[in-house]
Amino acid sequence: MLSVAARATYRVRRLTKPKPISPVASRLSDIGSGAGPVDTLAWPPVVTKRPLGHLCRMTIRTRFAPSPTGLLHIGGARTALFNFLYARHTGGAFLLRVEDTDRERSTDEATRVILEGLDWLGLDRDEQTVFQSTRAARHAEVAHALLAAGKAYYCYCTAEELRQMREQAVEEKRSPRYDGRWRDRDPAEAPAGAPPSIRLKAPQTGETVVEDLVQGTVRVANAEMDDMIILRSDGTPTYLHAVVVDDHDMGITHVIRGDDHLTNTFRQVQIFQAMGWDLPRFAHIPLIHGADGAKLSKRHGAVSVLEFREQGFLPEAVCNYLLRLGWSHGDLEVVDRETAVKLFDIGDVNRGASRMDYKKLENLNGIYIRQADDERLTAFVLERLAHRPELSLGSIAAGRIRTLMPQLKERAKTLIELADAAAFLAHPLPLNMQPKAEALLTAEARLLLRDVSVALAASDFTIAGIDAALRGFAETGGLKLGQVAQPLRAALTGSNVSPGIDATLAALGREESLARIEIASR
């Protein structure tokens, strides 16, 4: 555990950010599977698999490594997105490792939610998912290899001894850490039958330095770190040790994760070095805060990826918004997937924490809704309306929604708003009138509806024909078009808000429109 002084040290001693690593080969012997040349004619880049011997360039390999102990948080989703985009940008591979070594807190349901969230965001993985819990034997093997090489040692401290160390450190106002009492002690002195843990024999002088692609050069004095446990006395690996072994065995070249992991990195670097393994490049991205600058939580709004889905956000809008939380390219705000893959570079990520702005996300979502395919939006709307028993859904209602979708989507910022706006098209007669719509249906307005229905019945019920009929009716009666459209809108939709009245009439069709007008005019 780092002391307050050490944490202050690495915060202060950050230098200029280094440029991202060139993809020239530097650790091919550590990569478990190879990839050949990139087909530059295809986009996104297509990587052709080849044996390792054919490689002359390093294949970038990134990973997202969540713990299945809860929901896929929006911060985790951004980390996954950055890993995905960097892999795609460089023609590399994006992998998923589920870090489920905490068997008490890890659940199958949380794993399912993580996979579902990544699939919804379109973050496809290039290899099978690795479950960390299945690799415990390998983690132990490496711990014993370090032991055999003199880079680790058995520690026979009891829980009571460790508790006393912590209490003494607190009393002396020091950072609690192991005092190294078994580092050079003869194991023959161990109590009989006492199960040992294995601790890394960490360097006690000098510094551990991380050249971070986002944070710059970060360093901590080795004297501030103790000898960490890598294998517990019950034979299970610690998280920090398992992560290093897995990253090495998976051939991970770039570890991109939240900057809350930065303190872990110093210890993990020491394990890499003790094993003589090449280090991956590290990139620690800043956390996401709420609009008030506090850590993002439920009180700010949705924090889980699938919550955003339920609230009517499109995955491409969420990805675009997450991309812009910490990364920018000039004044570019709307960034589709293809453009993001082309432009994204991890070295361009900002150091400062980002603030979640839900209004900005809504506005961006509205842009993506307006750009979305009408058939796709119709399917989304029908799916959401299916849970409303008062509606009559079927091919007729679906056809009306599909017809009016170009107009419906112009005002919607979420799929919930879109579904609500389309619901009247599937409502059986009589409609439930909203108070504002009821107020429009005065006695005078009801008389007007009877007259305008005659003009409409004589039209061909195309949008152009309906528009001509309504304008002619208004002109003949000395009325403004709005004076005709407003009571019509109330009669047709039960609301005072809808798309253009001509498009609404055309979507409902002649028979349904005239029936609704007749009922409202009574």
Catalytic residue positions?
298
DSSP output for 371-430? HS-HHHHHHHHHHHHTT-TTS--SHHHHHHHHHHHHHHTTT-SSHHHHHHHHGGGGPPSS
Backbone angles phi, psi at 237, to 5 degrees: -80, 155
443: exposed, middle or buried (Cβ count in 10 Å: 0-12, 13-18, 19+): exposed
Any alpha helices (H) in 174-329, and if so which ranges? 239-249, 262-275, 305-310, 315-324
What token pair was written down for 290? 């709420």
- Distance from C-alpha of 76 to C-alpha of 287, rounded to nearest angstrom: 10
Half-sphere exposure of 140 (CA within 13 A, CB side): 11
Residue with tokens 């965001």: 121
493: exposed, middle or buried (Cβ count in 10 Å: 0-12, 13-18, 19+): buried
Nearest to 246 by CA among 78, 35, 58, 65: 65
Q: Which helix (H) or strand (E) holds 46?
A: strand 46-47
SS (H, E, C) 158-177: CHHHHHHHHHHHHHCCCCCC
